[in-house]
């Protein structure tokens, strides 16, 4: 940490999420500053760095991590290059906030778990930001209180207005449903043991070759069942909803009723356009809590184990998508560091 106790953060990957995190650390987060930005697109990194006092642009994560100004790393590059950056951060024993996914598959996530275990202490928080959303936090507190008894079912909806070109059916699991995978494990504190994927007839607005929407079912170790509607080209906006059905009550979040308007004989409200606006507060809280914990010398939040478990369930989900069959997950035993 610098002599002022401000955490110097290197942000790796300055695309949509990375640039937003740079803005956040500069303008919203207290106790941290952006000391370095890294992007293989040198011009992009330089442009960002030029606008920030004391920030240096790099094209290589290792170069930034070697800087004495860098105390911690925020990884927001594409999933396939997370493993290399994580292992480089471990070599320097630097704390990391890694955007989801930890890595894109279970085998590489296991390598990260092994490397972190070799360090002997946890260093990684994974960017599953729903755990920091005010509504999800309320739902979690309610379920944990036991007021409504055991949770039997979760009904989840995950809708995007549209997808960028090249968005595949597998990405519906790996990039989108991965959030419901983490939400389920976090809310219920149970591992997911099996996945089934049903494909209704595609929407006529679905891009060629994309089976959209899909209906995903999880079974959990404790016997709960979770359904997820994933509809990534719904056309009307970004909606993430979750209803927990318990033994003596149910609770739902994500209805977006922050403000209801009445006019001209109709009532209504607004639907978020994308995750950046829907989860803005959650991202702010996630990064602030990471900075606060790091400055205290602690590691909190979703662990590398959570990242691994999500990757393993995604793999089962992609197999279930391809075969149409109920597919068991196959997780290794949870190492002591993550118990």
Of these, 41, 91, 144, 298, which contacts ligand NAD (CB under 6 A)? Answer: 41
CB of 19 to ligand NAD, least distance (A): 8
Query: For residue 321, what are the contacts with CB-CB under 8 A and spacing of at least 6?
Result: 169, 170, 173, 197, 199, 214
When asked if residue 310 is in the footprint of ligand NAD (CB under 6 A), the reply is: no
Distance CA 238, CA 286 (A): 20
Per CB under 6 A, 146 contacts ligand NAD: no
Closest CB to ligand NAD among residues 127, 213: 127
- In the complex with ligand NAD, the residue whose CB is nearer, 80 or 223, is 80
List the Cα angle 320/242/246 in 5-degree steps.
100
Q: Which two three-digit tokens encode residue 54?
A: 């004391």
CA pair distance 328, 195, nearest whole angstrom: 6
Among 25, 38, 188, 310, binds ligand NAD (CB under 6 A): 38
Single residue of 78, 223, 235, 269 touching ligand NAD by CB under 6 A: 78
Q: Quick one: which of 1, 40, 161, 206 contacts ligand NAD (CB under 6 A)?
A: 40
Give the residue nearest to ligand NAD (CB). 15
CA distance to 18, 52, 81, 219, per residue, from 74 (Å): 8, 17, 13, 33
Q: How far is the CB of 316 from ligand NAD (least distance, A)?
A: 19
- Number of C-alpha atoms within 13 angstroms, CB side, residue 102? 28
In whole angstroms, the minimum distance from the beta carbon of 38 to ligand NAD comes to 5
- In sequence order, the 6+-apart residues with CB closer than 8 A to the CB of 251 are 139, 142, 143, 148, 243, 244
For residue 266, what are the β-bridge partners? Answer: 263
Shortest Cβ distance from residue 198 to ligand NAD (Å)?
A: 25
58-77 residues near ligand NAD, rule: CB under 6 A = 61, 76-77
- Both tokens of 167, joined, read 């968005």
> Which is nearer to ligand NAD, 78 or 268 (by Cβ)?
78
Tokens at residue 231, please? 């509809």
Of the candidate residues 9, 10, 11, 13, the single one contacting ligand NAD (CB under 6 A):
13
Cis peptide before 48 (omega within 30 of 0): no
Structure token digits, residue 60: 């290589």
x/- map, 246-285, ligand NAD, by CB under 6 A:
-----------------------------x----------
The reply on whether position 302 binds ligand NAD by CB under 6 A is no
**Does residue 18 touch ligand NAD according to CB under 6 A?**
yes
Cα separation, 282 vs 293, whole angstroms: 16
Residues near ligand NAD, by CB under 6 A: 12-18, 38-41, 44, 61, 76-79, 81, 99-100, 127, 129, 275
């Amino acid at each position: 940490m610098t002599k002022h106790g401000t955490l110097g953060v290197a942000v790796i990957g300055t695309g949509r999420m990375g640039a937003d995190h740079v803005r956040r650390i500069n303008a919203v987060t207290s106790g941290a500053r952006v000391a370095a930005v890294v992007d293989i697109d040198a011009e992009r990194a330089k442009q960002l760095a030029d606008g920030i006092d004391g920030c240096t642009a790099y094209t290589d994560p290792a170069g930034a991590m070697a800087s004495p100004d860098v105390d911690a790393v925020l990884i927001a590059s594409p999933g396939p290059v997370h493993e290399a950056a994580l292992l480089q951060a471990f070599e320097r024993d630097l704390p990391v906030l890694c955007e989801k996914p930890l890595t894109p598959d279970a085998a590489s996530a296991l390598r990260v778990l092994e490397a972190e275990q070799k360090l002997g202490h946890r260093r990684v928080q994974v960017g599953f930001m729903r755990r920091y959303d005010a509504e999800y936090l309320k739902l979690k507190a309610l379920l944990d209180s036991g007021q409504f008894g055991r949770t039997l079912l979760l009904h989840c909806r995950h809708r995007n207005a549209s997808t960028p070109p090249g968005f595949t059916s597998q990405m519906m699991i790996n990039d989108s449903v991965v959030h419901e995978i983490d939400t389920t494990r976090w809310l219920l504190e149970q591992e997911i043991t099996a996945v089934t994927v049903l494909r209704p007839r595609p929407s006529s607005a679905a891009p060629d070759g994309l089976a959209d929407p899909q209906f995903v079912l999880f079974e959990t170790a404790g016997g709960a069942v979770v359904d997820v509607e994933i509809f990534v080209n719904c056309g009307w906006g970004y909606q993430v909803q979750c209803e927990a059905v318990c033994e003596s009550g149910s609770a739902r979040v994500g209805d977006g009723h922050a403000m209801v308007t009445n006019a001209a004989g109709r009532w209504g409200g607004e639907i978020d356009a994308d995750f950046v606006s829907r989860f803005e507060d959650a991202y702010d809280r996630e990064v602030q809590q990471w900075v606060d914990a790091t400055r205290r010398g602690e590691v909190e939040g979703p662990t590398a184990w959570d990242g691994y478990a999500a990757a393993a369930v995604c793999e089962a989900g992609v197999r279930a998508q391809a075969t149409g069959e109920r597919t068991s997950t196959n997780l290794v035993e949870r190492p002591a560091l993550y118990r």
